[in-house]
């Protein structure tokens, strides 16, 4: 068995941690990061205007709304941080990380999931609370939703691996989760 094919999880047909699987998600996260950074620069008054091709003063209404400033930092800055976490946790680790670094895959999955959920909530708030739409906010939400599906397969591979560790009598799931090599080697996978 070649090294690469041994990284395919048991019962799978491809390796969900392969770079071809991960790079598109990281690129999406970087685009999201760029959009959210731009919007937060507007919210922090670094730039005076925001690009809005379709909805008139919609973007301004949304980006200056109470909800967007409910936290000490503007919501777009928080979004930018979220995308950065997605990109960084998407890049860290080699192509066997679903079993050698389960913790990073789980953090990656947990970062992508809630970011998508928060984006969805903000999309609902736009028309319901403020009767306005914000083009780039919608674009950012589309990106974060697009990331969920492709990120979840790797999460699944890691969770299945942790489940096998849990069912294994002589292995500590905790140590496997943190990627302790000597513990993972005991599983003979």
Partner 1 sequence: MWARILNIMIGIWLMAAPGILSYETAAAHNGHIVGPVIATFATIACWDATRNVRLWNYPLGGWLLLAPWILSYDYSLAIVSDMLCGVLVLVFASVQRKSTGKYGGGWRVLWK
Is residue 53 at the binding interface for partner 1, with CB under 8 A as the rule?
no
Is residue 86 at the binding interface for partner 1, with CB under 8 A as the rule?
no
Please identify, among the stretches 60-68, 84-92, 144-152, 173-181, the one whose residues bind partner 1 according to the rule CB under 8 A.
Answer: 144-152
Is residue 159 at the binding interface for partner 1, with CB under 8 A as the rule?
yes
12/81 with CB nearer partner 1: 12
Is residue 114 at the binding interface for partner 1, with CB under 8 A as the rule?
no
Is residue 148 at the binding interface for partner 1, with CB under 8 A as the rule?
yes
Q: Name which of residues 118 to 137 contact partner 1 (CB under 8 A).
A: 120, 123-124, 127-128
| 3 state SS for the chain | CCCCHHHCCCCCCCCCCCHHHHHHHHHHHHHHHHHHHHHHHHHCCCCCCCCCCCCCCHHHHHHCCCHHHCCCCCHHHHHHHHHHHHHHHHHCCCCCHHHHCHHHHHHHHHHHHHHHHHHHHHHHHHHHHHCCCCHHHHHHHHHHHHHHHHHHHHHHHHHHHHHHHHHCCCCCHHHHHCCCHHHHHCCCC
76/157 with CB nearer partner 1: 157
- Cβ count near 70 (within 10 Å): 9
40/119 with CB nearer partner 1: 119
Is residue 1 at the binding interface for partner 1, with CB under 8 A as the rule?
no
**C-alpha to C-alpha distance for 9 and 69, rounded to whole angstroms:** 44
150/179 with CB nearer partner 1: 150
Q: Total residues contacting partner 1 (rule CB under 8 A)?
A: 26
Please identify, among the stretches 41-49, 65-73, 155-163, 177-185, the one whose residues bind partner 1 according to the rule CB under 8 A.
Answer: 155-163
Neighbouring residues of 117: CB distance < 8 A, sequence distance ≥ 6: none
| Residues found near partner 1 in the complex (CB under 8 A) | 9-14, 16, 116, 120, 123-124, 127-128, 141, 145-146, 148-150, 152-153, 156-157, 159-160, 163
């Amino acid at each position: 068995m070649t090294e690469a094919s041994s990284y395919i999880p048991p019962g799978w047909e491809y390796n969900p941690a392969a770079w071809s699987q991960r790079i598109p998600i990281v690129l999406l996260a970087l685009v999201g990061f760029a959009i959210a950074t731009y919007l937060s620069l507007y919210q922090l008054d670094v730039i005076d205007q925001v690009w809005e091709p379709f909805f008139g003063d919609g973007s301004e209404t949304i980006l200056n709304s109470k909800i967007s400033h409910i936290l000490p930092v503007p919501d777009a800055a928080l979004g930018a941080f979220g995308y950065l976490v997605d990109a960084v946790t998407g890049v860290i680790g080699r192509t066997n990380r679903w079993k050698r670094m389960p913790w990073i895959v789980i953090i990656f999955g947990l970062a992508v999931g809630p970011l998508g959920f928060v984006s969805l909530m903000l999309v609902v708030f736009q028309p319901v609370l403020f009767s306005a739409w914000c083009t780039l906010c919608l674009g950012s939400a589309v990106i974060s939703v697009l990331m969920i599906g492709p990120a979840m397969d790797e999460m699944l591979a890691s969770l299945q691996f942790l489940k096998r560790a849990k069912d294994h009598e002589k292995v500590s799931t905790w140590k496997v989760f943190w990627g302790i090599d000597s513990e993972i080697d005991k599983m003979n996978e």
